Amino acid sequence: MTTHEREITEPVLLALPDGRHLNPNARGWSRTLLQTANQRGTWGRKKRWDYWSIQAGDLIISGVVAHLDFFGTSDIWWIDLGDERTGGRGVGAAKGTGFEVPDLAGSQPIAIRGKNYSFDMRDDEAGNTYFDVVWTEENGEPGELHAVIEMPSGHETLNVVIPWSETVFQFTSKHQARPARGEMRVGDRHWLIGADDNAWGIIDIGRGRWPYDTTWNWGGGAGRAENGSVIGVQIGAKWTEGTGATENGIFVDGRLSKIGRELEWMYEWNNPMQPWRVVDPGGQLDITLVPRYDKYSKIDAKVMMRETHQVFGLWHGWVKDDNGQTHEFHHLQGFAEECRARW
């Protein structure tokens, strides 16, 4: 074990009964999703979302359902890296009406309806996550996605509370290296997902109350090591510094090795297509992402601002699990990002 953080093994409420203060029993991390996010009050500061992504060779798809108190949104985005054609659709609503997500993620279906857009997401009893999305592209072409991000038996996830204070805290559940299968159509184009057993799903569940001004790194990847093991990488930085908790860990054949140390990220904000290197000073991880595409976005509404470089590419390097075994790899599909936000 390479973390000082407390491991949670029983279901727990995120907040105290008032819904505003962090439950001391929720401090720590778990291998399965045990945290029910019952926070209430302080309108305008709560952030609640279910984000997902599928990475399948040249095809990358992502989407979100988010309720930010004053605004709700849902979207789908995709890119084919072979020709860099990209598309998608999104909808939103003031005050988040119709964009609610459950306190216990995955406990009930989510259905979003908007102009030229419908989104359905549900988990079955085994934890497999199903997506059915139908939309119209800006150029009028019809699009549809029908996919599942599978939850293999015994596959672990990284669930952790980041406590800035007793009233400002975030629960995050990060799922890496879950196999993905399905199909997507846009116009006359058709993609099969997972036919080569090399398509991977990522899920990021967020429930909490954030500081107004925040910067974070997030990254992940999945694939097979040289020794044949399925590797998942979950890494973050900046937003967790000083809290005594991290969202860092590696998965080997579904088993999580939690890393409690902050990682060293080396990259250039102004030159994001250069390699991104991430190193564990404790010697458990040294990986480099060679980007293929930079998904750059910026929203500046003065009071609200968000600017992100999210790069997609291939990781190479090595990780070491809690048993001391080193796993080398050269072509893990993945991503890394820096986001600067006032929200």
Q: What is the pLDDT of residues 149-168, one digit of tens each?
A: 999 999 999 999 999 999 99
Percent of the chain with pLDDT over 90: 91
**The pLDDT of residue 300:** 81
SS3 at position 154:
coil
Rounded mean pLDDT, 209-213: 91
Q: pTM of the predicted model, to two decimals? A: 0.96
**The pLDDT of residue 94:** 86
Residue 40 pLDDT > 80: yes
Helices marked H in 165-236: none
In this structure, how many other beta carbons lie within 10 angstroms of the beta carbon of residue 82?
9
CA distances (Å), 308 to each of 118, 119, 126, 295, 340, in order? Answer: 26, 24, 34, 8, 6
Q: State the number of CA atoms in the 13 A half-sphere of 325 facing the CB.
A: 13
- pLDDT, one tens digit per residue, over 131-152 is 999 999 999 999 999 999 999 9
CA distances (Å), 30 to each of 24, 47, 93, in order? Answer: 15, 21, 34
- Decide: 279 and 285 in contact? Cβ < 8 Å: yes
**Long-range contacts: 294-298, Cβ < 8 Å, 24+?**
295/77, 295/79, 296/272
Rounded mean pLDDT, 249-256: 98
Ranking 12-21, 92-101, 235-244, 321-330 by mean pLDDT, the lowest is 92-101
Rounded mean pLDDT, 318-341: 97
Residue 2 pLDDT > 80: no
Rounded mean pLDDT, 182-187: 98
Ranking 108-117, 177-186, 189-198, 302-311 by mean pLDDT, the lowest is 302-311
Give me the chain's average pLDDT, please.
96
Residue 95 pLDDT > 70: yes
Percent of the chain with pLDDT over 70: 99
**2 or 208, greater pLDDT:** 208
Distance, in Å, from the CA atom of 122 to the CA atom of 50, rounded to the nearest integer, reads 11
Confidence grade of residue 28 (pLDDT, cut at 50, 70, 90) = very high
Confidence grade of residue 42 (pLDDT, cut at 50, 70, 90) = confident
Residue 301 pLDDT > 90: no
- Decide: 166 and 208 in contact? Cβ < 8 Å: no
Residue 1 pLDDT > 60: no
Render 65-91 in DSSP notation, one character per residue.
EEE-SSEEEEEEEEEETTTTEEEEEEE
What region does 19 belong to: left with phi over 0, alpha with psi -120 to 50, or beta? left
- Please report, for the chain, the start and end positions of each structural domain, with discontinuous segments joined by +: 12-342
